[in-house]
């Protein structure tokens, strides 16, 4: 039986990836810091406790070897070197990366978006041939780029598929973008503000679709970088409407021609001045990929239910502390009301 070791198995992507591999007749060892087990996993899934920063513990989890090592939480070049050090016991690897590694033809990327005229203007659709940022220690994007460079260079020793994920969505997310509209509906907000005419597009990636890419890449080893996004890239206005439909809400949308008037008015987690839309033809060609979830809206019911469950009886900052840390106060209704009353 083929053996898979999954690092970061109890995270948002890891939970469904373990299930996808186990159902495809892989013998799976699910590795996490707590050594926990998801209630949805098949009985044959083994669990192991290891912090990925602990080289010895990770090596013990791999044991005598595995056919594929799947890594959800590799972050920088040191993690690439850690994985390559296990190459004599690992057949291939599948590692989750990010579309944030891309830069446009003027050298702009996600790290420059806060600067004047700093948001990148990528081709639509954005293919894997687009250049990437210079690796370094400065940011998430540059460290992911460093991770990619080292793993691609070591492909002769450890064939690795890198999956460049978009705006990940699904249950078990610590920073769910959908919270922006779900909480507003739960709070009975009658109106909301969307900048850029509601036309912003930041390509989402359902966890079930990413798990399917992992399953396919595990069975077809190679050294490659592939986009990992949904078949569709809805506008932020379409996302809001789809969440409304799931929740039975009917708020009014106020569209603005330009950018958000302030950080707490209309600045949704998808609000970008130009589209970020990725091409999936390489994954279709190289892996025979077909999405499990055909439309962004199709995955919303379980996402919304998860968010609502986490919010029940708790302040949103307690339920989603990383969301507050990453995005600030998305629910400053006083500022929103003041703007709408102007």
Say what the pLDDT of residue 157 is: 98
What percent of the chain stands above pLDDT 70? 100
Spatial CA neighbour of 32 closest among 18, 51, 19: 51
Q: Is the pLDDT of residue 173 over 90?
A: yes
Say what the pLDDT of residue 326 is: 84
Spatial CA neighbour of 65 closest among 33, 87, 95: 87
Mean pLDDT in residue range 148-152 = 98
* Four-residue CA torsion sign, 200, 316, 138, 167: negative
* 3-state class (DSSP) for residue 333: helix
Per DSSP, 301 falls in state: H
Q: Is the pLDDT of residue 336 over 80?
A: yes
Q: 19 is written with which tokens?
A: 């299930």
Centroid of chain to Cα 133: 19
Say what the pLDDT of residue 52 is: 85
Say what the pLDDT of residue 324 is: 87
Which of the residue ranges 182-196, 227-241, 326-340 would you say has the lowest mean pLDDT?
326-340
Residues facing 7 on adjacent strands: 31, 71
Mean pLDDT in residue range 210-215 = 98
User: Rounded CA gap, 308 and 155, in Å?
Assistant: 43
Say what the pLDDT of residue 186 is: 97
Say what the pLDDT of residue 328 is: 83
Per DSSP, 208 falls in state: H
The string of pLDDT tens digits covering residues 4-36 is 999 999 999 999 999 999 999 999 999 999 999
Say what the pLDDT of residue 327 is: 84
The string of pLDDT tens digits covering residues 261-307 is 998 899 999 999 999 999 999 999 999 999 999 999 999 999 999 99
Mean pLDDT in residue range 28-56 = 94
> Sorting pLDDT into bands at 50, 70 and 90, what band is 342?
low
167-169/66-71 β-pairing = unpaired
User: Rounded CA gap, 44 and 195, in Å?
Assistant: 49
User: Rounded CA gap, 212 and 236, in Å?
Assistant: 25
User: Rounded CA gap, 265 and 267, in Å?
Assistant: 6
Say what the pLDDT of residue 55 is: 93
Mean pLDDT in residue range 240-256 = 98
Residue with tokens 């992992």: 214
Burial of 39 (0-12, 13-18, 19+ CB in 10 A): exposed
Q: Is the pLDDT of residue 3 over 90?
A: yes
Question: Average pLDDT, whole number, for the chain?
Answer: 96
DSSP string, 127-195: PTTS-BPPP-SSSHHHHHHHHHHHHHHTTTTS-EEEEEE-EEESTT-SS-TTHHHHHHHHTT-SEEEES
Say what the pLDDT of residue 263 is: 86
- Maximum separation of any 2 CA atoms in the chain, in Å: 67
Say what the pLDDT of residue 310 is: 95
């Amino acid at each position: 039986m083929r053996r898979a070791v999954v690092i970061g198995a109890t995270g948002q992507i890891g939970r469904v990836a373990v299930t996808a591999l186990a159902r495809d007749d892989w013998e799976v060892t699910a590795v996490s810091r707590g050594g926990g087990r998801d209630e949805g996993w098949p009985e044959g899934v083994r669990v192991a406790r290891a912090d990925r920063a602990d080289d010895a513990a990770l090596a013990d989890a791999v044991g005598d070897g595995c056919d594929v090592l799947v890594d959800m939480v590799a972050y920088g070049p040191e993690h690439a070197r850690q994985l390559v050090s296990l190459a004599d016991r690992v057949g291939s690897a599948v590692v989750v990366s990010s579309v944030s590694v891309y830069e446009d033809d003027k050298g702009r990327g996600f790290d420059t978006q806060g600067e004047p005229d700093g948001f990148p203007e990528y081709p639509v659709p954005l293919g894997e041939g687009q250049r990437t940022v210079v690796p370094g220690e400065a940011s998430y994007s540059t460290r992911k780029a460093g991770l990619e460079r080292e793993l691609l260079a070591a492909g002769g020793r450890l064939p690795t598929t890198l999956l460049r994920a978009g705006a990940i969505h699904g249950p078990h997310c610590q920073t769910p973008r959908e919270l922006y509209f779900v909480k507003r509906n739960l709070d009975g907000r009658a109106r909301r503000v969307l900048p850029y005419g509601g036309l912003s597009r930041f390509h989402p990636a359902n966890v079930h679709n990413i798990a399917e890419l992992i399953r396919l890449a595990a069975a077809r080893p190679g050294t490659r970088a592939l986009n990992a996004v949904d078949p569709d890239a809805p506008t932020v206005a379409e996302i809001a409407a789809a969440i409304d439909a799931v929740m039975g809400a009917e708020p009014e949308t106020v569209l603005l021609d330009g950018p958000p008037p302030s950080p707490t008015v209309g600045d949704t987690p998808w609000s970008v001045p130009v589209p970020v839309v990725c091409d999936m033809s390489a994954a279709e060609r190289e892996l025979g990929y077909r999405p499990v979830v055909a439309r962004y809206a199709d995955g919303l019911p379980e996402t919304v239910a998860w968010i609502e469950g986490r919010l029940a009886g708790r302040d949103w900052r307690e339920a989603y502390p990383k969301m507050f840390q990453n995005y600030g106060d998305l629910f400053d209704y006083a500022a929103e009301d003041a703007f709408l009353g102007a």
